[in-house]
Amino acid sequence: MSDIKTQKIFLDKVIEKTKAKKSEKKEIELYKELVHHRFFEVISNANPIFYSMIKKKRLQKIVTKFIQSGAKTDLIWKLPDEFRDFVKKNSKLFKDMSYIDDLLWFEWIEIKLFMKDYSSFKISFLNILEKYKISKNTKIKRLSYKVYEQEFTTKDEYFVLAYYDLDKEEVIYRDISAFMYEFLELIVDLNVKDSIKKISKKYKLDIKELKSILIPALEELCSLGVLIKNRKKDKLCLVQ
Amino acid sequence: MAKLKGCGLGLRREFLQEVIPSTFKPDFWEVTPENWINMPYHHKEAFEQIVSNNKTIAHGLSLSIGSPTKPTKKFLKTIKSFLDRYNIEDYSEHISFSNFNGAQTYELLPLPMTKSMVNLLSDRIKYIEDFLGRSLILENATYYYVPDSNMSEVEFINELIHKSGVRILLDVNNVYVNSINHKYDAKKFIDDLDTSSVAYMHLAGHFDDDESGFLVDTHGMKVTKKVWDLYKYTLNKVKAPSMIERDNNIPPLDVMIKEYSKLKKIYRGIS
């Protein structure tokens, strides 16, 4: 038998695509456990809320299917991101968890932001004559469930901003309003001053009052490295 | 580039922040590239300080040298860039495979011990060495199952050494674990191995799994007496640089230093 065939037959038994012979059951069982444990440990540690909401046996079965689907990343810490794709492609398995995509995004983004390199982190100061965009260290997401407050029943439209706080060495989440989201989209293409004018006209709001609310908020977002000056002409989509 | 010598320890995130204040300085540190290519940002400064001030070697996990397909260029580029960035000359991996047609298992799986596999590995070693611009060191892995093979483990490794010229990372714990699981004489394995090719040695703990009936190479506890004994026997034959590997149940640094000191004492005691 060729080496490749030998390897394939062995692996298919380990990932439970085929059954092991009686004479090799003990050995294959051990490899099954080792591989399964590796995946299960990463998925359950990376998704503690998800894991708390699902029975262990159910997750074990899901992990087996995930292993069989063929994870690709060489870097095991990225496995939870691949798991998110697997869940999206196998939504039938999660019919009772309509919030699952939002929840897995929420748990993954913490890892992703935690593992980023912030060596080139820079703070922009607010200048109302400049345009601003969300920095690469930040993610904004439109969600259907308030998973960041562990609220899984009320479906609506929510916006959350996630960024890594260098002082606290942790990922911070902030609920932002649809209005703020719209405004952050505006300042990508228009400077802050013109954006305030535009939005005050659209919603018939007082410019002075708007400035008094928006400028301190923008200053804070700049100081956190969430907003940086946008000197590129290309239009950026906020939701990532 | 300083030559690898003396005794080392695997650098782990769990005790990384204890290293600098402790002033502990092993002869070398071993790092797993896949665990440091990306790292929590608050660890970066300490990691870079340790690696730049100490002899450091790398021990990879995801190369999967025995897979039917070559490692991807993307993966090799990532590894090369890590090794170059931290000025790491010595890079070791395992005689095993962990992915098949791109699907990962993240586990070291056993290879068929055949001439054709020796040929495949030899070609692969050359390809990887050319790509990385440095020689590769390969470790004898543990295995709990023997896939269709027509050579013994030691014949297979010797054949690989002779055909490819690869240097070996001799994991003494793996020799012990395999000898119990597959009922052979560990000392005879050491006697029969071409020890002139040993670049360095690993020592680690294992777990006696009653349920499966196997000794399992967990790296989750301290080195057992029987492995220390086998190490002493091996060291009398080949005085290669040696180190402690711990990947699970990682204790505080002071516990690891105690085990390292024991290693160093044995290493120094054998001329």
- How far away is chain B from the Cα of A117, in angstroms, using its nearest Cα? 6
3-state helix, strand, coil split of chain A in percent (to 5) is: 55, 10, 35
Give me the pLDDT at residue B128, please: 98
Radius of gyration of chain A (CA): 23
C-beta atoms of B111 and A118 within 8 A = no
**How far apart are the C-alpha atoms of B159 and B114, rounded to whole Å?**
10
Distance CA(B110)–CA(A16), nearest Å, equals 17
Facing residue for B40 by CB, picked from A35, A39, A114? A114
B157's CB contacts (< 8 A; 6+ apart) are B95, B140, B168, B193, B194
Does B102 lie at the interface with A, CB-CB under 8 angstroms?
A: yes
Q: Which residue has tokens 């297979």?
A: B156
Answer whether residue A209 shows pLDDT above 50.
Answer: yes
Question: Nearest by CB to B212, which of A1, A30, A39?
Answer: A30
- How close does chain A come to B203, measured CA to CA in Å? 21
The residues that bridge with B198 in the sheet, in sequence order, are B168
| Dihedrals phi, psi of A69, to nearest 5 degrees | -70, -20
B44 touches chain A (CB under 8 A): yes
Distance CA(A110)–CA(A138), nearest Å, equals: 11
Instruction: Judge residue B26's burial from the number of C-beta atoms within 10 Å of its C-beta, 0-12 exposed, 13-18 middle, 19 or more buried.
Output: buried
Instruction: Indicate whether A50 pLDDT > 90.
Output: yes
CA dihedral B37, B200, B206, B108 (to 10 degrees): 50
Chain A residues touching B38 at Cβ < 8 A? 75, 77, 115-117
Whether residue B107 and residue A31 make contact (CB cut-off 8 A), yes or no, is: yes
The region that residue A204 occupies, defined by phi over 0 for left and psi between -120 and 50 for alpha, beta otherwise, is: left
Q: Give the pLDDT score at B270.
A: 82
ipTM associated with this complex = 0.95
Residue to substitute from B78, B105, B116, B117, interface A, most A β-carbons within 10 A: B105
* Whether A70 and B40 lie within 8 Å, measured CB to CB: no
Q: Chain A within 8 Å of B21 (Cβ-Cβ)?
A: no
Contacts A–B by Cβ distance under 8 A: 105
Q: What is the pLDDT of residues A163-193, one digit of tens each?
A: 999 999 999 999 999 999 999 999 999 999 9
How far apart CA B169 and CA B67 sit, in angstroms, is: 20
Neighbours of A81 (CB within 10 A): 16
Residue ranges of A 168-197 with Cβ closer than 8 A to chain B:
169
Is the pLDDT at A240 greater than 50? The verdict is: no
Which helix (H) or strand (E) segment is B15 a member of?
helix B13-22
Across-strand partners of A138?
A163
Question: Distance between CA atoms of B197 and B85, rounded to whole angstroms?
Answer: 27
**Could you tell me which residues are beta bridge partners of residue A162?**
A139, A173
Strand partners, B171: B202
Closest by alpha carbon to B99, among B66, B77, B52? B66
Contact call for B147 and A11, based on CB within 8 A: no
* CA separation for the pair B245, B142 (Å, rounded): 14
Residues of B in contact with A7 (CB under 8 A): 66-68, 97, 100, 109, 111-112, 147
Residue with tokens 């009936």: B213
Which has the closest alpha carbon to A179: A164, A162, A196? A196
Classify A106 as helix, strand or coil: helix
CA distance B141 to B98: 12
Using CA atoms in the order A75, A76, A79, A81, what is the torsion angle rounded to 10 degrees? Answer: -50
Closest partner residue to A11 among B34, B42, B100, by Cβ?
Answer: B100
Q: Of B66, B68, B107, which is closest to A38 when you measure between CB atoms?
A: B107
CB nearest A116 (choices: B41, B101, B114): B41
B239-249: average pLDDT: 96
Helix (H) or strand (E) holding A219: helix A207-223
d(CA B267, CA B241): 9
Position A48, amino acid = P
d(CA A135, CA A116): 12
Q: Where does residue A201 rank: exposed (0-12), middle (13-18), buried (19+ CB within 10 A)?
A: exposed
Question: What is the arithmetic mean of pLDDT over B57-64?
Answer: 98
Residues in B touching A33 (Cβ below 8 Å): 212
pLDDT at residue A124, rounded to an integer = 87
Rounded to the nearest integer, the mean pLDDT of chain A is 93
Stretch 137-176 of chain B: residues touching chain A, C-beta under 8 Å: 144-145, 147-148
Residue B48 in this model has a pLDDT that exceeds 50: yes
A contacts of B40 (beta carbons < 8 Å): 114-115, 169
Rounded CA gap, B19 and B41, in Å? 17
- Both structure tokens of B241: 């640089």
Q: Does B116 touch chain A (CB under 8 A)?
A: yes
Q: What is the pLDDT of residue A238?
A: 55
Contact with chain A for residue B112, Cβ under 8 A: yes
A3: amino acid identity, one letter: D
Q: In this structure, is the dihedral angle defined by the CA atoms of residues B167, B173, B178 and B180, taken in order, positive or negative?
A: positive
- Which positions in chain A touch B75 (Cβ < 8 Å)? 74
Structure tokens at B227: 């492995």
Q: With cut-offs at 50, 70 and 90, classify the pLDDT of residue A130.
A: very high
Summarised one tens digit per residue, pLDDT across range B68-90 is 999 999 999 999 999 999 999 99
Q: Is A38 on the interface with B (CB under 8 A)?
A: yes
> What is the C-alpha separation between B234 and B91, in angstroms, rounded?
22
Q: From CA A172, how far away is CA B101, in angstroms rounded?
A: 39
Contacts of B110 in chain A (CB under 8 A): 10
Count of CB atoms within 10 A of residue A238's CB? Answer: 18
Q: Tens digits of per-residue pLDDT, A25-39?
A: 999 999 999 999 999
Binned at pLDDT 50, 70 and 90, residue A231 comes out as confident
d(Cα A226, Cα A222) in Å, to the nearest integer? 6
* pLDDT digits 0-9 by tens, B141-163: 999 999 999 999 999 999 999 99
pLDDT > 70: percent of chain A: 96
Tell me, yes or no, if B183 comes closer than 8 A to chain A by beta carbon. no
Tell me: the pLDDT tens digits for B183-233?
999 999 999 999 999 999 999 999 999 988 999 999 999 999 999 999 999
Q: What are phi and psi of A110, to 5 degrees?
A: -65, -45
